[in-house]
A and B are shown apart, each in its own frame.
Chain A
Amino acid sequence: MPAIRVLFDPEAHRVKTGLAVLGGTLGFVSLGKGASLAKLDAPQPAVLRFHGAYLASAADPVGERKPFAEINGEIQRRADAAIVFTLPQPLEITYTDPPPDDPPPTQLNLHYDPRCFENTPAAGESALSLKLPPRPEEARHFEVVVQLEIGGAEEGSVETDAILDVPLAPLTFFKARLVDKDDAPLAAQPFELELTDGSLVSGETDDDGVCLVNPVIRGESILHFKV
């Protein structure tokens, strides 16, 4: 069987300046160079390692992409040719150099193709977000590619895996703390945030009444409480 390639399909939103990439969906396809290390119906330890590099401009030559986060699990092939990566529960993304939570870091939405992943995280779990490494001031783009490692060895070549190109200018966060008339935090308050392109993100405030949506498209967002 050919090696497994990691796909990272962009979650793109159209904005005035072009496209805003708010995240991506991880998946697999068996089209890589070389033979696969994954075995039929025999789960093996596997790692999805995220490598990234900041660029001052999209046209800049890409420097060295450094690993900054990883997801551990098990991978196997099935008789129907499906490639299945079983995620641990609960799923935690391990960061090489965890960025601080405040101010909110630049992060991306991370989706998992349900045809390729088992135990995908539920709404609200932290593994649905991928925090990017600390961002240099001059950075305008971020490139991320995901390397698959099976049984301690690299599967195929990282060069054949899909690259997610993220323009950074449109990305920011939305944060608001909701309190009642007595200044008590309004926890578990459902909300919906309408981004500048009209797309909606729904959520609930945390115990301190904070609604945090990260990332969002830069600009004015509209916060709705009746959802």
Chain B
Amino acid sequence: MAQELKQREVLDGIALVTGVAHELKLRTRLVGARLPGEFRRFRSFPGPNTLLMAKKVVDDLASKPDAETVVVGHSDQFGSDASNNRVAKSRAEATVALLTGDSAFFEAQFKVGDEQSIWGACEADEMLEAIDAASGFSSTGTSLLQDFKNKNGLGPANELDAATIAKICEQYLALLGPRQLNPSQFHAVGAGAQQPVLGIAGGSAGSDDVDAADFRDRRRVEIFVFENLILPSVASFKENSAQLEPTYKIWCDLCESAFSVDPEPLTVRVRDENGQALSGRQVQLLDLADPSSDTLSLVASASTDSTGVARFAGQQGIFIVHLPNSLFDDELLVQSRADRVNRFYMSVLDSGPGL
């Protein structure tokens, strides 16, 4: 006779008499997330695009001490199976490190790996930008790295030494807030290149754009938070399967809900040639929707604040950012996406407002 069990009973263990056969129907509750923003090709660094969603997951886990989290990494179909499988797994591992605040893992990525996969200046720059944005765009000067080193007493040389990397990693991981998560409750698995982008909790399965669906969207990571036990188990997940992996599909299907985040506003930070914030500057967003049109329509306009930042909420698409009062009528082509941190920098020759 089937004995259906409630979650609490499962968590604490089920007392069952020996010598007879039982049938147990097990249940779990599962929330899923697909980290926004694809990973760079061959790279495993979970960049600033992932932070909002990752923070949502971390905050949720704070109230679920028994939760088990599985992170599934994927790659696109460029490259050999071996390298695709490796990068898929390393994306999952790096995401676990992001969630758990494993600074040592992040630091190690700057030391190990081949030419394509080792972390370097690119990853450091992205972390520095995120740290700067979180501190209210307080950086000064032309180099975020130098500004960071100055602020943290890391020496005058504008170079990425071990101590600087350690500090950058520490502060980047701290952006998700203080947390005490048990690493043993996190599981990283690599799915390789062959798993299609499946919908989670009834959500979209991915982009309609063929190129994105085949390549960009595939460089992704999903996070599955199981409120109690992992069903089916991680052991049943066949890593790097060339077919649709049944356990992966079940996890996507089982999600009762999905983590979601509100898109960040499009921000444009305007600085002069010395890196100083330019406040009170008018910034315009011009529409590029109709490339055949001779004129560009004004979508929105905003002034930069004391940190040189102009913000445009709810704007997604491809725009020209225009500074009408700058010396050279500066323009910048930008693409704003709901699943990204849309943060852009413009350095202009200072002409003063109203020139």
Question: Is B one of A's binding partners?
Answer: yes
Chain B: minimal CB distance from A118 (Å): 29
Of all chain A residues, which has the CB nearest B25? A179
Given A175-B21, A188-B232, A188-B236, A225 and B15 contact (CB-CB distance below 8 Å): no
A225 x B21 contact (CB < 8 A) = no
Within 8 A of B (CB), among A135-189: 172-181, 183, 186-189
A52 to B339, CA, bound (A): 70
Which residues of chain A have C-beta atoms less than 8 A from B20's C-beta?
Answer: 175
Which residues of chain B have C-beta atoms less than 8 A from A225's C-beta?
Answer: 10, 26, 229
Q: Judge if A134 is at the interface, Cβ distance under 8 Å.
A: no
Question: Which are the 10 A-B pairs with shortest beta-carbon distances?
Answer: A172-B19, A188-B236, A176-B22, A222-B13, A188-B235, A224-B13, A225-B229, A175-B21, A189-B233, A177-B23
Within 8 A of A (CB), among B1-48: 2, 10-11, 13-27
Which residues of chain A have C-beta atoms less than 8 A from B13's C-beta?
Answer: 194, 222-224
Per DSSP, are chain A's interface residues mostly helix, strand or loop, or mixed?
A: strand
Chain B: minimal CB distance from A20 (Å): 12
- Bitwise interface map of B from 216 to 257 toward A, beta carbon under 8 Å scored 1, else 0: 000000000000110111011000000000000000000000
Q: Judge if A226 is at the interface, Cβ distance under 8 Å.
A: yes
B25 x A176 contact (CB < 8 A) = no
Please choose the segment from A59-67, A90-98, A212-220 that sits at the chain B interface, where 4 or more of its residues have CB less than 8 A away.
A212-220
Interface centre among B19, B27, B235 (most CB of A within 10 A): B19
- Bitwise interface map of A from 28 to 40 toward B, beta carbon under 8 Å scored 1, else 0: 0000000000000
B235 x A190 contact (CB < 8 A) = yes
Which residues of chain A have C-beta atoms less than 8 A from B25's C-beta?
Answer: 179-181, 183
A226 x B11 contact (CB < 8 A) = yes
Which residues of chain A have C-beta atoms less than 8 A from B14's C-beta?
Answer: 222-223
A177 to B21, CA, bound (A): 8
Q: Judge if B264 is at the interface, Cβ distance under 8 Å.
A: no
B231 x A176 contact (CB < 8 A) = no
Interface size class on chain B is 20 to 34
Chain B: minimal CB distance from A219 (Å): 6
Given A181-B25, A187-B236, A226-B68, A176 and B16 contact (CB-CB distance below 8 Å): yes
Chain A: minimal CB distance from B218 (Å): 26
A174 to B19, CA, bound (A): 6
Q: Judge if A221 is at the interface, Cβ distance under 8 Å.
A: yes
B235 x A180 contact (CB < 8 A) = no
Chain A: minimal CB distance from B246 (Å): 10
B18 x A189 contact (CB < 8 A) = no
Which residues of chain B have C-beta atoms less than 8 A from A219's C-beta?
Answer: 17-18
A188 to B229, CA, bound (A): 13
Which residues of chain B have C-beta atoms less than 8 A from A181's C-beta?
Answer: 25, 27
Residues of A within 8 A of B (CB): 172-181, 183, 186-190, 194, 204, 216-226
Chain B: minimal CB distance from A112 (Å): 26
A183 to B21, CA, bound (A): 16
Question: Could you say which of A186, A194, A216, A218 contacts B232, with CB atoms under 8 Å apart?
Answer: A186
B231 x A189 contact (CB < 8 A) = yes
Of all chain B residues, which has the CB nearest A102? B21
Of all chain B residues, which has the CB nearest A204? B235
Chain B: minimal CB distance from A46 (Å): 37
User: What are 27 A-B residue pairs whose CB atoms fall within 8 Å in the complex?
Assistant: A172-B18, A174-B16, A175-B22, A176-B22, A176-B24, A177-B21, A177-B24, A178-B24, A179-B2, A179-B23, A179-B24, A186-B26, A186-B232, A187-B236, A188-B232, A188-B233, A189-B233, A189-B236, A190-B233, A204-B233, A217-B18, A219-B17, A221-B17, A221-B18, A223-B14, A223-B15, A226-B228
B26 x A179 contact (CB < 8 A) = yes
Of all chain B residues, which has the CB nearest A217? B18
Chain B: minimal CB distance from A123 (Å): 13
Of all chain A residues, which has the CB nearest B68? A226
A216 x B18 contact (CB < 8 A) = yes
B23 x A176 contact (CB < 8 A) = yes
A224 to B16, CA, bound (A): 11
Which residues of chain B have C-beta atoms less than 8 A from A186's C-beta?
Answer: 26, 231-233, 236
Chain A: minimal CB distance from B228 (Å): 8
Chain A: minimal CB distance from B95 (Å): 22
A220 to B15, CA, bound (A): 6
Of all chain A residues, which has the CB nearest B237? A188
Chain A: minimal CB distance from B67 (Å): 11
Which residues of chain A have C-beta atoms less than 8 A from B17's C-beta?
Answer: 219-221
A145 to B23, CA, bound (A): 37
A111 to B23, CA, bound (A): 30
A173 to B19, CA, bound (A): 5
Which residues of chain A have C-beta atoms less than 8 A from B68's C-beta?
Answer: 226
Given A177-B23, A186-B231, 4 more pairs with CB closer than 8 A: A176-B21, A180-B232, A187-B232, A223-B16
Question: Could you say which of B15, B26, B66 contacts A221, with CB atoms under 8 Å apart?
Answer: B15
A221 x B16 contact (CB < 8 A) = yes
Chain A: minimal CB distance from B286 (Å): 53
Which residues of chain A have C-beta atoms less than 8 A from B22's C-beta?
Answer: 175-177
A159 to B66, CA, bound (A): 55
Chain A: minimal CB distance from B313 (Å): 41
Chain B: minimal CB distance from A104 (Å): 9
